Amino acid sequence: MTASSQNVVGSGETAGATSAEPVLAGPRVSSSFRVPELDGLRGVAILLVLIYHGVFDVLPRSSLLGRLMAVGRLGWSGVDLFFVLSGFLIGGILIDARLSPNYFRTFYWRRAYRILPIYLFAMVLFSLRFIHPEARPLGGFSRSSIPWLSYFTFTQNLWMAALGSFGAGAMAATWSLAVEEQFYLTAPLIIRKVPPERLLPILLAVVAAAPVLRTVLFLTLQNGRFADYVLMPCRADALSLGMLTAWLTRSASGWNFVLAHRSALKIIATGLFAGVVGFSLRETGFLAPLMVTVGYSWLALFYTSVLLITISGASKMVQRGLRSRGLIWLGTVSYFTYLLHLPLMEGARRVLGLRFMYASGTVQFFGGWLGIGLTLLLASLSWKFVEKPLLGRAHSHRY
């Protein structure tokens, strides 16, 4: 979700490699350049999330409009697309730099520059009191209690799993950032210690184990469904499928296999999409038994197939669509947008609630989209004046 998409299809040697170890060569994605289509995919991911929270979170389930727009019920799965993209981008960066003497130091400095400034700003915003007859800190409109310190240690998802609740609603989206941070603690070590040619069986094992773990937790824990949704090991299939894609693009034989089967890839993606539509028509929520057991894996496989189609050039129509300026811009500002859209939506609803009935569908809908508009405006300013300059500083730390 937070990885910067600095990748482009090309060829060359792995960064930091030496003659002491064979390099996985061939047509690949380099972590040195930017691919507009990947920003476009990230734009799709954040658009799905915004539409879900702006429309389907407040749309009456029985309305005719709700039935006509059934496919949007899976807008929450934009997070799953973020996970696949994160696994792909971070996995690729780490594979390219795995032999660098500055491997760990550079990786964590760059992640800190990318993640922490905006995240700390969000923490300050969460603590503000917005004008309202029952004004409390914006993060305090939930009955459940998650320790404030856990948000600074990126362990809030552990508390959410234990309590079976997102806690303060304005901070609900931070569970996925906690998953990402925990992924950052494990992936660099694995890629550093495991030779690239041995990564494949490990990643496949994780992909297979994740739905098994989710099923066990679902059957044995009181809050098992919630744990399945917010815990990193339970979402490791999406992250590992992204890393597997990064590995394929750096393996001559793996990449040639993908290129030789692009037609089959489109057929597979179509079949997976039919399943996604089926989930939507069944009104399958993100905590439904079907979803927490196999559904997350199905979504991850679908988004991985879309990623492979994108980077392999299997569909020129998909590539052209993902190069649209709107999607690329959304992808560029997606981190700020994802992290801040919920508190700003809630803030706008509270302001409208001073004049109209807060709980009404009208206030929830229009207040939500007013907050989304404000989020996108601030995200654009943040990217130009804060995030982009900080990324420049981050890249002064070199592998």
Query: Containing H/E element for 10?
Result: strand 8-10
How far apart are the C-alpha atoms of 142 and 346, rounded to whole Å?
Answer: 12
CB-count burial class (<10 Å; 0-12, 13-18, 19+) for 134: exposed
Q: Name the pTM for this structure.
A: 0.89
Distances (CA, A) of 153 to 159, 166, 207: 12, 16, 27
In sequence order, the β-bridge partners of residue 10 are 28
Q: Split the chain (399 residues) into runs of 10 and give each run's mean pLDDT.
A: 50 35 43 82 96 74 53 86 97 95 96 96 73 46 70 94 87 94 97 92 97 98 96 98 95 92 96 91 84 97 97 93 96 96 87 80 85 96 96 92
Report how far apart, in Å, the C-alpha atoms of 250 and of each of 197, 256, 306 are: 10, 10, 18
Integer angstrom CA distances of residue 108 from 91, 111, 244: 14, 5, 22
